[in-house]
């Protein structure tokens, strides 16, 4: 795996390219253009860049209005503020099936030392509970750009959880396609299947390499589409390996682990280990310190899996 540009930069660069060829595309922003790599869009297409200031409820309301007028608004905000402060308005967007793409930047624990007010570890649970809401969590820059292309063609609201501020190894080719409701089997294994999304997917690939050195054959399943979810792929993985490990930078309640558990219990019940943020607020510290604290590194996941299998 080779490191490339970060996911947020790749997303915004691709959106700007698309906007030059699609006059419907606009950005609605909450005074965060620099933070979320949107300065290029603001400079080149100022008439299609709307900044409402730090007012997330208005942010979403304006985007719904633009969508109703036939535009394709992309709402730019930090995940923590977008999904919590404007949850009622996001629900209204789904109620009207508005074509709004909600771009949740700096997701998970990426804001690090800014603390619990800025961590976004509940967003998947909130978003996937909303009817008509599509929830995507791409893993790499190429996967993120592919998710963007998919979101632009989708009818109805979409939430994209975008990895930010953290280096991500590239796992996919530049022409990779993101499949709505699909998944990618990145590695086969008969002993256990590691299931991830977003930031954790590349770390699970590394964890599988570490486990292989111990003689444990671990499969890796990437679920970039959290809602709808690929229940068939989950069932196949459960049937083949007989054990699932779900890791995510999210609370254990209601996120990817909850979605996988719901699918497993309906199709192929097997033992399942969840690795994530327990029902507590994270300590203060740099993001990578927090990921190590919660065992959300390749080494941390491999250690938990070894202990679980022993």
Residue 5's pLDDT is what? Answer: 65
Cα separation, 16 vs 13, in Å, equals 5
Residue 280 pLDDT > 80: yes
Residue 2's pLDDT is what? Answer: 46
CATH number of 184-309: 3.40.50.920
Cα separation, 115 vs 156, in Å, equals 33
- State pLDDT tens for residues 155-171: 999 999 999 988 899 99
- Which range, 3-7, 39-43, 265-269, is most confident? 39-43
Please enumerate in sequence order all residues whose Cβ is within 8 A of that of 33, keeping only pairs 6 or more positions apart, or say none.
Answer: 39, 41, 42, 49, 51, 76
**What residues does each domain of the chain span?**
2-170, 184-309
The residue written with tokens 């002993």 in the block is 191
- Which residues are paired to 219 by β-bridges? 193
2-170 CATH fold: Rossmann fold (3.40.50)
Cα separation, 30 vs 73, in Å, equals 13
Average pLDDT over the chain, rounded to whole? 96
Please enumerate in sequence order all residues whose Cβ is within 8 A of that of 163, keeping only pairs 6 or more positions apart, or say none.
Answer: 6, 7, 8, 107, 108, 110, 138, 139, 144, 198, 199
Cα separation, 76 vs 52, in Å, equals 11
Residue 167's pLDDT is what? Answer: 82
Total Cβ atoms within 10 A of residue 285: 14
Residue 288 pLDDT > 80: yes
| 184-309 and 2-170 share a CATH fold | yes
């Amino acid at each position: 795996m080779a490191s490339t540009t970060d996911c947020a930069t790749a997303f915004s660069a691709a959106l700007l390219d698309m906007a030059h060829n699609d006059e419907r595309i606009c950005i609605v922003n909450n005074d965060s253009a620099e933070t979320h790599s949107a300065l290029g869009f603001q400079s080149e297409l100022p008439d299609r860049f709307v900044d409402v200031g730090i007012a997330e409820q208005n942010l979403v309301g304006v985007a719904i209005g633009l969508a109703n007028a036939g535009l394709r608004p992309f709402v730019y905000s930090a995940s923590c503020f977008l999904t919590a402060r404007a949850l009622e308005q996001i629900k209204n967007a789904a109620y009207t099936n508005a074509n709004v793409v909600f771009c949740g930047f700096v997701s998970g624990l990426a804001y690090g030392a800014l603390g619990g007010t800025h961590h976004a570890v509940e967003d998947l649970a909130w978003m996937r509970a909303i009817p008509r809401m599509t929830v995507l969590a791409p893993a790499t820059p190429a996967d993120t750009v592919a998710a963007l292309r998919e979101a632009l063609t989708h009818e109805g609201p979409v939430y994209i959880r975008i990895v930010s501020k953290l280096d991500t190894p590239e796992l996919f080719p530049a022409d990779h396609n993101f499949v709505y409701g699909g998944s990618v089997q990145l590695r086969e294994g008969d002993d256990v299947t590691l299931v991830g999304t977003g930031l954790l997917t590349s770390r699970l690939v590394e964890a599988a390499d570490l486990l292989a050195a111990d003689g444990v054959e671990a499969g890796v399943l990437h679920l970039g589409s959290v809602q709808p979810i690929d229940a068939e792929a989950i069932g196949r993985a459960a049937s083949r390996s007989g054990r699932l490990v779900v890791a995510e930078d999210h609370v254990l309640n209601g996120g990817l682990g909850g979605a996988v558990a719901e699918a497993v219990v309906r199709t192929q019940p097997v033992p399942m280990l969840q690795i994530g943020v327990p029902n507590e607020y994270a300590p203060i510290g740099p993001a990578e310190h927090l990921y190590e604290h919660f065992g959300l590194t390749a080494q941390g996941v491999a250690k938990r899996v070894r202990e679980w299998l022993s």
